[in-house]
Amino acid sequence: MKVSSAGTVNFKALPSGDYEVRYLKSGTAVPGSFTPGVSIEILELTAPTPSPISVSTTPTKPTSKNSMPQITSSSLVSGVSGNTYNTTISAKDADVTNDLTMTISGLPFGLYQGPCNEQVTTSAALITCTISGTPTRSGAYTVTAKVRDNYGLTSSKSLTLTIRQVQAR
């Protein structure tokens, strides 16, 4: 890189790191930016050696055959718009050592996925998640629950949630 007139030289276009500037004519090497007097010629610019980075997004494979987690709830109780609603969706995994997570989508406005409770029995890993709130509109909603184990196996199930309109008295 050569700068022939007075001005500021900035190395911001280079990747971040500590660079080594050698053989600087007409001035002193200063990290980052500097203002040259007349003319600057950098004869050698050495980039830092990148650190090796290891990133893994693939779940750890089980040492034995892993069972698929399953949503065990078969239906959702109906609710009434404007009234408090509370129910749960459950899932299980035959592998008692698996950790389970669940996401619930498609809920009508006013209902939310609440806390989930994990449990381990002698025969299965279990998870139960709460749906609660106050729905604001009536209708039939397709709610999808997706359960995932710590090895990446997933299953999902769609359930219909019916929210009835408030009856006039």
Cβ contact 101:115 at 8 Å: no
Q: How many domains does the chain have?
A: 2
Of the pLDDT bands very low, low, confident and very high (cuts 50, 70, 90), residue 6 is very low
pLDDT digits (tens, 9 = 90+) for 106-122: 999 999 999 999 999 98
CATH number of the domain that residue 157 is part of:
2.60.40.10
Bridge partners (DSSP) of residue 45 are: 21
- In degrees and rounded to multiples of 5, residue 151 shows phi and psi of -100, 0
Q: Kindly state whether residues 12 and 83 are assigned to the same domain.
A: no
Full domain range(s) for residue 131: 70-164
Q: For residue 102, which of 115, 111, 86 has the smallest C-alpha distance?
A: 115
